[in-house]
Chain A
Amino acid sequence: QKEVEQDPGPLSVPEGAIVSLNCTYSNSAFQYFMWYRQYSRKGPELLMYTYSSGNKEDGRFTAQVDKSSKYISLFIRDSQPSDSATYLCAMGLDTGGFKTIFGAGTRLFVKA
């Protein structure tokens, strides 16, 4: 079983739709959870960061962590064509080590 599972998509939605992106993981010890956005021909950029369970909102983006189900989500409200990108989930242990585990990424297309 992979440590982090993420549906690669592609996911295609119309402009204005609510997008739900998800990852599941197997290591219950993970403490921090992140979402990165990667545009074509660019490196990933940190979009959202959460520590432990709960919700975090930043503009049109909401990150949700459910540690009991080992499931994290990223919601995008009022999606825009500029949101078209690959979204990577990432997580790890806050032990001062250097291993963050990444999902394979979900490719999202928002159609105008």
Chain B
Amino acid sequence: ETGVTQTPRHLVMGMTNKKSLKCEQHLGHNAMYWYKQSAKKPLELMFVYSLEERVENNSVPSRFSPECPNSSHLFLHLHTLQPEDSALYLCASSQRGGGAGYTFGSGTRLTVV
């Protein structure tokens, strides 16, 4: 297992459900990220937290709501999602601004039905 742990690994939810994705890192990194990965598309940056403050919100719909209670934990709260939101959601962490590379979790495979 990598230094970044994501749960759950798989999630199926209806469009009216509310669920949360969890990410945890114990690498001592000070930045954490949410990325969306869809088939044959580049990774899409969703949110960035640095030292527990949100520093980037990449025009993500409000049905995605991030939370970073401390430097080791990151959540993505989901509500009233659409089928096109089905994708692999990846959490990552880094020591700086990402220029030294990210450590990714294994992702949560989300299916919206």
Q: Which of B40, B55, B101, B105 contacts A43 (CB 8 A)?
A: B105
User: In angstroms, how far is the closest chain B Cβ from the Cβ of A24?
Assistant: 13
Contact yes or no, A43 B106, CB < 8 A: yes
Contact yes or no, A43 B100, CB < 8 A: no
In the complex the two chains form, what is the Cα distance from A102 to B109 in whole Å? 20
Find chain B residues with CB under 8 A from A88 CB. 43
Find chain A residues with CB under 8 A from B104 CB. 36, 43-45
Contact yes or no, A34 B90, CB < 8 A: no
Within 8 A of A (CB), among B53-106: 55-56, 90, 92, 96-106
User: In angstroms, how far is the closest chain B Cβ from the Cβ of A54?
Assistant: 17
CB-CB under 8 A for A45 and B97, given A88-B43, A98-B50, A101-B42:
no
Contact yes or no, B42 A104, CB < 8 A: yes
If over half of A's interface residues share one DSSP class (helix, strand or loop), that class is named, otherwise mixed; here it is loop
Contact yes or no, A43 B4, CB < 8 A: yes
| Chain A interface residue bracket vs B | 20 to 34
Find chain B residues with CB under 8 A from A93 CB. 99
User: In angstroms, how far is the closest chain B Cβ from the Cβ of A15?
Assistant: 26
| A13 lies within 8 A of chain B by Cβ | no
In the complex the two chains form, what is the Cα distance from A42 to B97 in whole Å? 23
Find chain B residues with CB under 8 A from A101 CB. 42
| B21 lies within 8 A of chain A by Cβ | no
Give the nearest-CB partner of A93 in chain B.
Answer: B99
Contact yes or no, A49 B101, CB < 8 A: yes
Contact yes or no, A98 B48, CB < 8 A: yes
Interfacial residues, chain A to chain B (CB-CB below 8 A): 4, 8, 31-32, 34, 36, 41-46, 49, 88, 92-105
* Listed A/B pairs (24) with beta-carbon separation below 8 Å: A31-B99, A32-B99, A42-B107, A43-B104, A43-B105, A43-B107, A44-B43, A44-B90, A44-B104, A45-B2, A45-B104, A46-B101, A46-B103, A49-B101, A92-B98, A94-B97, A95-B97, A96-B97, A98-B48, A98-B50, A99-B45, A100-B98, A101-B42, A105-B42
